């Protein structure tokens, strides 16, 4: 592959034409990516990196998987786009593949990404129930469109509060418990009691949906304690509320299951997905509907749709990605990495480095919660994380950071050896930081 350093300079100069997400204009990231393959990325100078971010936790199958690339190329030559109302074989196959990985769900509504999947799931719940309010967690991210950003609990909601009917509560998070809990059982029980009281105080008959990430991702990778999702299911059933599980980040193998909620054995009414469904090779997302919710849309038309819904390039990439993940045992491999390499390896790092307050996660979905003091659990400040991020990049490790945390979220196809190499780099950088 011809990599030319001059292209790197040119890319950075042209970046002035782009207003980047969530950023002040004019803060070009010097890390420039030219090429990717598997878990590896290269810049224009030919420097090689291990991708421990999966970009925005979406390249589950790794970069440039040949079967997915080939499927997109083949589809582009055959039919590169088609109107959403048309019947199209590859779109049907994509829906069939998705439904084959989840029990008891009836249909798929395709969108362009995760935020509009959330948007449409909320819309479906509102149409289905005839109610407005949506309960979500403060520690959450659900996307950046009207209702999705208001459903989001984190600070990104605050500059965007235009939509109505959004109510938040604290979900369970034992390490930083809002409920003075000392065990997972107490945390689950008390968080459920809190959610129940919020719904009662707001009026149970005003709620269309309870929506939570099956494992909150950007908020810190917070696997729910046993019983919590089941408790939300019961709460939803008691009051005729739709349970939406947002699987945009946690779905499609990230946690070592096809869907993260399968770990908890809970039955959702609606599931949102994007990212890992095709590893982001073509933008796509969607909502998976239960037969009961689909029933509402047998009676009346869904009041929404998108020009690119079920886009053939996206559909072809979904079929190829799910088939490759199935044939190559990629989800099982993610579970193995979590149990045998990443989980034990990160816990071992925590034994050596005082800065690691807690290690949390499953599969290829882990967070290091960094603290100034293990007793007080005071989070390290942003400059510490920025410093570590720079040092990791210098050593050829692409990190995902958020607040006081490093999320260890490589593509699920990473080999045991590359995963160990990543742990070594983390060890070196955390060691140098302490010294």
Least distance from ligand PLP to the Cβ atom of residue 195, Å:
18
Q: Which of 147, 248, 282, 368 binds ligand PLP (CB under 6 A)?
A: 248
Supply φ then ψ for residue 273, to 5 degrees.
-145, 160
Q: Which of 38, 62, 113, 172 binds ligand PLP (CB under 6 A)?
A: 113
Q: How many residues bind ligand PLP (CB under 6 A)?
A: 16
The rounded radius of gyration (Å) of the Cα atoms in the chain is: 21
Verify binding: residue 118, ligand PLP, rule CB under 6 A.
yes
Verify binding: residue 253, ligand PLP, rule CB under 6 A.
no
Least distance from ligand PLP to the Cβ atom of residue 114, Å:
2
The full DSSP string for 286-336 is: EEEE-HHHHHHHHHS--S---TTTT-HHHHHHHHHHHHHHHHTTHHHHHHH
- Choices 66-74, 95-103, 107-115, 319-327 (CB under 6 A): range interacting with ligand PLP: 107-115
Q: Which of 68, 211, 274, 314 binds ligand PLP (CB under 6 A)?
A: 274
Distance CA(314)–CA(283), nearest Å, equals: 7
Least distance from ligand PLP to the Cβ atom of residue 216, Å:
8
Residue closer to ligand PLP (CB basis): 114 or 224:
114
Work out the burial of residue 257: count CB atoms within 10 Å of its CB; fewer than 13 is exposed, 13-18 middle, 19 or more buried.
buried
Residue 127: strand, helix, or coil: helix
Q: Which of 8, 38, 62, 143 binds ligand PLP (CB under 6 A)?
A: 143
Distance CA(255)–CA(249), nearest Å, equals: 10
Which of 275, 329, 233, 295 minimizes the C-alpha distance to 58?
275
Verify binding: residue 114, ligand PLP, rule CB under 6 A.
yes
HSE-up (13 A, CA, CB side) for residue 341: 23
Residue nearest to ligand PLP (CB): 114
Q: How do strand 405-408 and strand 400-402 relate by DSSP bridges?
A: antiparallel
Least distance from ligand PLP to the Cβ atom of residue 136, Å:
11
What residues contact 44, with CB distance under 8 A and at least 6 apart?
3, 4, 5, 6, 7, 8, 11, 32, 34
Distance CA(108)–CA(94), nearest Å, equals: 9
> Residue 158 has which token pair?
């605050």
Least distance from ligand PLP to the Cβ atom of residue 116, Å:
7
Cβ count near 166 (within 10 Å): 20
Verify binding: residue 43, ligand PLP, rule CB under 6 A.
no
Distance CA(213)–CA(139), nearest Å, equals: 10
Residue closer to ligand PLP (CB basis): 8 or 171:
171
- Choices 2-10, 241-249, 320-328, 388-396 (CB under 6 A): range interacting with ligand PLP: 241-249
Residue 269: strand, helix, or coil: coil
Question: What would the x/- binding string for ligand PLP be over residues 194 to 223, using CB under 6 A?
Answer: -------------------x---xx-----
Q: Which of 142, 254, 360, 389 binds ligand PLP (CB under 6 A)?
A: 142
Question: What would the x/- binding string for ligand PLP be over residues 49 to 88, using CB under 6 A?
Answer: -------x--------------------------------
Residues of span 383-422 touching ligand PLP by CB under 6 A: none
* C-alpha 304, offset from chain centre: 24
Q: Which of 127, 188, 235, 249 binds ligand PLP (CB under 6 A)?
A: 249
Residues of span 8-27 touching ligand PLP by CB under 6 A: none
Residue 402: strand, helix, or coil: strand
* C-alpha 401, offset from chain centre: 14
- Choices 138-146, 308-316, 390-398, 412-420 (CB under 6 A): range interacting with ligand PLP: 138-146
Question: Residue numbers of the site for ligand PLP (CB under 6 A)?
Answer: 56, 113-115, 118, 141-143, 213, 217-218, 246, 248-249, 274, 285
């Amino acid at each position: 592959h011809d990599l030319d350093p001059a292209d790197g300079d040119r890319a950075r100069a042209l970046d002035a034409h782009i207003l980047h997400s969530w950023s002040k204009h004019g803060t070009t990231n010097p890390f420039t990516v030219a090429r990717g393959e598997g878990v590896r990325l290269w810049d224009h100078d030919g420097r090689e990196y291990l991708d421990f971010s999966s970009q925005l936790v979406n390249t589950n199958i790794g970069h440039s998987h040949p079967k997915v690339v080939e499927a997109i190329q083949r589809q582009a030559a055959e039919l590169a786009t088609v109107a959403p109302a048309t019947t199209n074989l590859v779109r049907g196959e994509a829906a069939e593949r998705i439904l084959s990985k989840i029990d008891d769900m009836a249909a798929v509504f395709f969108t362009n990404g995760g935020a509009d999947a959330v948007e449409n799931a909320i819309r479906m719940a509102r149409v289905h129930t005839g109610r407005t309010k949506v309960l979500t967690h403060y520690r959450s991210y659900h996307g950046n469109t009207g209702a999705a950003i208001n459903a989001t609990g984190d600070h990104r909601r605050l500059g965007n509060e235009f939509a109505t009917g959004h109510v938040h509560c604290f979900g369970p998070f034992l390490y930083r418990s809002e409920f003075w809990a000392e065990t997972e059982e107490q945390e689950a029980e008390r968080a459920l009691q809190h959610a129940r009281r919020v719904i009662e105080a707001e009026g149970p008959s005003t709620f269309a949906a309870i929506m939570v990430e099956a494992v909150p991702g950007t908020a810190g990778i917070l696997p729910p304690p046993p019983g919590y999702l089941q408790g939300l299911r019961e709460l939803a059933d008691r009051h005729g509320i739709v349970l939406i599980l947002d699987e945009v980040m946690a779905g499609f193998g990230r946690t070592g299951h096809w869907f993260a909620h399968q770990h908890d054995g809970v039955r959702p009414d609606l599931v949102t997905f994007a990212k890992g469904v095709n590893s982001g090779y073509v933008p796509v997302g969607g909502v998976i509907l239960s037969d009961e919710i689909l029933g509402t849309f047998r009676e009346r038309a869904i009041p929404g749709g998108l020009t690119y819904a079920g886009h053939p390039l996206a559909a072809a990439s979904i079929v190829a990605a799910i088939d490759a993940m199935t044939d190559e045992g990629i989800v099982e491999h993610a579970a193995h990495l979590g149990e045998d390499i990443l989980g034990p390896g990160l816990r071992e790092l925590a034994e050596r480095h005082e800065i690691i307050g807690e290690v949390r996660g499953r599969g290829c979905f882990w967070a290091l919660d960094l603290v100034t003091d293990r007793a007080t659990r005071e989070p390290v400040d942003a400059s510490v994380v920025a410093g570590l991020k720079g040092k990791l990049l210098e050593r050829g490790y692409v990190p995902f950071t958020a607040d006081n945390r490093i999320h260890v979220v490589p593509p699920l196809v990473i080999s045991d050896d590359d995963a160990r190499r990543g742990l070594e780099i983390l060890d070196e950088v955390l060691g140098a930081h302490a010294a």
